[in-house]
Structure 1
Amino acid sequence: MIKFAGIVATGIGLLLVSFGQKRDPAREAREACILRCVTQPADPELHRQEIVSLEREAARAIQLNSGTFFRRVYSEDFSGTLSRGQQVNKAQWIAVIESPGVKYESFSTSDIKVQLYEDMAIATCLWSSRSIIKGQHISHQMRSIHVYLNGAGGWHVVTGQITSLPPDVQQPL
């Protein structure tokens, strides 16, 4: 009984001490950061599959000429390079995607490879498209690379580059 009373008294004392301390936002942020590091999923395959899904969603959005996916997943400070060397920001990228001058009969992604580095991922893939540009049917293949950062809102693309594969024809991307 005396041991039990001692344990209860110690517990109450610790509670009173913790309630008396002032809140330290910097300390709380450090502790939250440490907790995130310690509780990261042990299986990186979950992150890898999420990136693969995002790459497939991007291809589908391009085929549909829809910028919605890119507004959600691409970071506000996105910077990319199109297959013809033109640098674009997020708004310019979305304008290219939504361009009415290009209609995709198909747009697919394959050979997706993902490398994970803590809160960063690099995805490479092969994009294959069949499109109609100015009434002309064009088939084209491109290599794509995207750099993702994982933050509070999930994975976001911060930069990307597209490289045309031969035969090199003028493409909108």
Structure 2
Amino acid sequence: MVSGSGLCARQVVVDARHHMLGRLASIVAKELLNGQRVVVVRCDEICLSGGLVRQKMKYLRFLRKRMNTKPSHGPIHFRAPAKILWRTIRGMIPHKTKRGAAALARLKAYEGVPPPYDKMKRMVIPDALKYELEAKRKERALVAYERRKQLTKLRLKAEKAAGDKLGSQLDILAPLSY
């Protein structure tokens, strides 16, 4: 699936499991524009970055966008994961030109693995895997943990200093869970 190498398989089957939506879509879009036929299977296991609530709110905002006078003419809101991937890729391709329409015709996307492709070799795209983001997440988590640890140490120090000053008043506050 390497563009420009002159070695193109007739069609490439990509297993979308544990791939990030945008990263996968951008790489597949480029391959489609270069003339490669791409079949994406297991679209139901594509990952989206961010939390679940954030993704839900984002999708609900998208659902609100519609044509006022005749909603059937307006943006069509696909719910199926394969169609969501298809639409994401369409946004990365000049689909209103002949070249873009031909590129989009070279794409097939499925939930699960349908019969002709279950016996074919499935590829992964290493740059689009969720695992690639893990190192960055661990770095940020370590920084947050160190900061939290430092703040806890400062709070305990402040409580000790306040305890020395307050003295007998702490006995009054203790039953009130302070």
State the TM-score, normalizing by the size of structure 2: 0.21
Q: Which has the larger radius of gyration?
A: 2
State the TM-score, normalizing by the size of structure 1: 0.22
**Structure with greater proportional helix content:** 2
